[in-house]
């Protein structure tokens, strides 16, 4: 599969590993792939983000939103809503834990693996396969960073929610990348 | 709220997806809470045996899960 990745897509995958290392995370997660995508300029993915209003200077708000989600223990807003249906106020839980254990206590613990290559999480691996399917669905021969971006928005979870909050959804991306006609092509 | 919307809302609550989603979210929260509490206990010098007893699991289970932190 990797031989079909463009130089830009490979750079994103490499960048995701770098973000995971920088964060001291034990695994490369989908959010690290998003952070790496936000770093890129002059690529198809970057063009699509900019076309939807996320020009490079504005991407910092996405980074902050991801940080916020991390502080909630990596639980997405949909998770928070589901818990609230059970009568559990996630933000109250987070504040109580932070009162006792310090700020960011609920953020997934960095398993200090030290050096060496970090494995991709199950979600991040699924994201890579999804990017392949997305490319195939659009009859693109190569997997570019735009396919990684499309795949991120097609999967449930925090990265897709944060992107949607900034107007970046599968449909809006497909529209700027492929035009109206193909906006509904399967991902 | 009218009776119709009230009924519609309660019918919606029976959608299994809502309940399952809540369970999955609760499990994720539980995992994070457990990690926080185990780390805190270890920092205060608790043994794996003591932590396991409080959690109601075996010492091996808790060590395997949290041992590298």
Residue A145 and residue A34 in contact, taking contact as beta carbons nearer than 8 Å: no
Structural domain spans, chain B: 3-66
pLDDT for the residue A70? 86
How many other C-beta atoms can be found within 10 angstroms of the C-beta atom of residue A157? Answer: 19
Is the pLDDT at B68 greater than 80? The verdict is no
Confirm whether the ipTM is greater than 0.85.
Answer: no
| Closest Cα in chain A, distance from residue B29 (Å) | 7
Residue with tokens 């399952």: B20
Q: Which two tokens stand for residue A45?
A: 């993915």
pLDDT for the residue A115? 58
| Closest Cα in chain A, distance from residue B48 (Å) | 18
Q: Which two tokens stand for residue A187?
A: 């991902």
Residue A12 and residue A5 in contact, taking contact as beta carbons nearer than 8 Å: no
Per-residue pLDDT band for A183 (boundaries 50, 70, 90) equals very low
Is the pLDDT at A186 greater than 90? The verdict is no
Chain B residues whose beta carbon lies within 8 Å of the beta carbon of residue A75 = 25, 28-29, 32
Chain A residues whose beta carbon lies within 8 Å of the beta carbon of residue B35 = 108-109
CA distances from residue B69 to A101, A110, A127, A178, B65 in whole angstroms, order as listed: 16, 8, 27, 46, 9
Distance CA B65, CA B38 (A): 10
Q: Which two tokens stand for residue A1?
A: 């599969």
Q: From the centroid of its chain, how far is CA A36?
A: 9
Q: Which two tokens stand for residue A142?
A: 């190569």
Chain A residues whose beta carbon lies within 8 Å of the beta carbon of residue B69 = 109, 111-112
Q: For the whole model, what pTM was predicted?
A: 0.74
Domains for chain A: give ranges and CATH numbers.
2-70+109-182 (1.10.1780.10)
Closest CA to B42 of A69, A109, A114: A109
Distance in Å from the first CA to the final CA of chain B:
51
Chain A residues whose beta carbon lies within 8 Å of the beta carbon of residue B39 = 109
Task: Specify the range with the lowest mean pLDDT, choosing from A6-15, A61-70, B60-69.
Answer: B60-69
Distance CA A67, CA A76 (A): 12
| Closest Cα in chain A, distance from residue B47 (Å) | 19
CA distances from residue A142 to A21, A174, B1 in whole angstroms, order as listed: 27, 16, 54
Q: From the centroid of its chain, how far is CA A99?
A: 29
How many other C-beta atoms can be found within 10 angstroms of the C-beta atom of residue B34? Answer: 16
Residue with tokens 């979210």: B25
Name the residue with higher pLDDT: B60 or A180: B60
The string of DSSP letters for A155-177 reads: S-SHHHHHHHHTT--HHHHHHHH
- pLDDT, tens digit (0-9, with 9 covering 90-100), for A145-158: 999 999 999 998 88
């Amino acid at each position: 599969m990797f031989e079909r990745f463009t130089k830009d897509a490979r750079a994103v995958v490499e960048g995701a590993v770098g973000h995971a290392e920088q964060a001291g995370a034990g695994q490369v997660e989908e959010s690290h792939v998003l952070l790496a995508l936000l770093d890129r300029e002059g690529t198809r993915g970057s063009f699509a983000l900019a076309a939807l209003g996320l020009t490079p200077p504005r991407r910092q708000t996405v980074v902050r939103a991801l940080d916020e989600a991390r502080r909630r223990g990596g639980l997405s807003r949909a998770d928070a809503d589901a818990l609230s249906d059970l009568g559990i106020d996630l933000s109250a839980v987070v504040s109580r834990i932070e009162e006792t254990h310090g700020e960011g206590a609920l953020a997934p613990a960095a398993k200090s693996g030290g050096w060496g290559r970090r494995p991709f999480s199950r979600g991040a691996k699924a994201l890579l396969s999804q990017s392949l399917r997305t490319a195939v669905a659009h009859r693109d021969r190569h997997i570019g960073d735009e396919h990684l971006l499309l795949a991120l928005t097609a999967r449930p979870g925090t990265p897709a929610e944060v992107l949607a909050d900034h107007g970046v959804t599968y449909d809006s991306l497909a529209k700027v990348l492929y035009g109206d006609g193909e906006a509904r092509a399967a991902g | 709220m009218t009776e119709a919307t009230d009924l519609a809302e309660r019918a919606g609550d029976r959608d299994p997806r809502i309940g399952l989603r809540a369970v999955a979210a609760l499990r994720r929260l539980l995992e994070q809470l457990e990690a926080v509490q185990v780390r805190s206990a270890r920092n205060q010098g608790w043994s794996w045996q003591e932590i396991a007893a409080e959690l109601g699991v075996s010492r091996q289970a808790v060590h395997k899960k949290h041992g590298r932190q």
